[in-house]
A and B are shown apart, each in its own frame.
Chain A
Amino acid sequence: MMELLAQAAWAYLYAMLIATAAVSIYGVVAKPNMLKKVIALTILGDTANTLFIFIGYRLGSTTPPVLTTLTPSPTDIASFVALAVDPVPQCLVITAVVINMAVTALLLFLAIQAYRLHGTLDARRLSKLRG
């Protein structure tokens, strides 16, 4: 019974994350305002990162992937492998977070410059510009 409940909880979590991703993709595609597109894109990136972190979780794990000693005995290493969470998703996410921030900044700079030059952030009007 408890197992089924845990499964349902995890399924709900994943479903909500995917739903958030779907809503943010809709925002990127359908919202005409460039600023709202950028906001939706950051939500999409954060959702993907959260999903990654959840995939790296180990049920029953008690330690982060950091050894607490510099001179480990073989039993130390064995218990570390037995109890630490998966380090791979954490490693992928930390670079993704910083790159997301830099790319968001680039998009915001683009939006600000477009507003200065053309006086609008509406993608429908910006796409009609020629020359």
Chain B
Amino acid sequence: MSGWLKAASKACALVLLVALTVAILMGATAYTPSLELRPLAEFYLESTLNVYDKSRWAAAPEAVTAMLWDYRGLDTVFESTVFILAVVGSAALFRFSEASLLSHGSKPGERLEEGLSIIVRVVTRIVFALIVALSAAIAFHGHLTPGGGFQAGSILSIAPLLAIAALSRRFVEGLGLTKNSCRALEAAGFLFIASISLLPLATVLGGLGACIIQNQQKPWLPPPGFSYPFELGPIWTGGSLILFNVAEYLAVSSGFTLLFILLALPEEFFRGLMRR
């Protein structure tokens, strides 16, 4: 009976798969890309750096970052909240007291030489520096070139992962990237995002018109008010975009580093915790 059921369910899945594929095949022929642009995309492309009509501009030549942190800023802030909650949830699953971690052979400021062969270790150190430099460049130019806080944070978190694999977890902790410092950096990044989003609202108390997550001033508000400076001397900052990118860079990279450090703890350490 159960064998028959299994065969039937497999047949059902196969029929479902074929039906879905055929349905999409027939539907997809009606949609092939053309040079036509959707009105929404046209609006974003037209107004992101429209110096002739500044009523809806974001002061950034990069339309994707302008959408991410200006036009659809509220959405991105809540998506970062999902990210933070996922990291906090993971850390809560692997919770333990700090004293027990210290007893597991790691002292602050100590960098132990262990891991793979000398060739791998030297190459890893060079690549480590390159990854950090590259990710910083991507984060700080996020409003000018393709890239931004999310991308740069993911790239930077590769550096400690590489160091854990080639050198050791203790090397990363010797650099100061311990569980608690990562957690503090992540919280600092998220607080930074929250304060940049709420700062324009503070100007409402001064009688100016402002929205939450406002980048440039909105001329249609009764007394047009606050806008982040989009040009500091020779540096184009894109208003709040550079601040948001750096804050997200901090939050994402330290969040992933925290997860990698927790995953790199040896299994017998947790076994020992559970026996107590």
Contacts and interface: CB of A to CB of B under 8 A. Distances in A.
A11 interface: yes
Contacts of A30: 9, 13
Interface string B62-104: 1110011000100110010011001101100110000000000
Interface of A: 6-8, 10-12, 14-15, 18-19, 22-23, 26, 30, 54, 57-61, 64-72, 74, 77, 80-81, 84, 86-88, 90-91, 94-95, 97-99, 101-103, 105-106, 108-110, 112-113, 116-117
Interface in B140-188: 144-146, 148, 150-151, 153-154
Contact of A102 (B38, B40, B67, B86): B86
Interface stretch (B121-129, B215-223, B252-260): B252-260
B42 A81 contact: yes
A74 B61 CA distance: 14
Contacts of B94: 109, 113
A110 B35 contact: no
Nearest to A103: B86
Contacts, number: 164
Given A15-B24, A66-B145, A109-B90, A99 B82 contact: yes
B28 A15 contact: yes
Interface of B: 9, 13, 16-17, 20-21, 24-25, 28-29, 31-38, 40-42, 44-46, 48-52, 61-64, 67-68, 72, 75-76, 79, 82-83, 86-87, 89-90, 93-94, 144-146, 148, 150-151, 153-154, 236, 252, 255-256, 259, 262-263, 270-271, 274
B24 to A, nearest CB: 4
Contact of A87 (B29, B44, B252): B44
A105 B63 contact: no
Given A64-B146, A88-B38, A99 B33 contact: no
A18 B26 CA distance: 12
Contacts of A81: 37, 42, 45-46
Nearest to B13: A26
Given A59-B34, A87-B45, A72 B51 contact: yes
A60 to B, nearest CB: 5
Contacts of A112: 263
Contact of B93 (A6, A8, A18, A109): A109
Nearest to A12: B25
Nearest to A3: B32
Contacts of B256: 101-102, 105
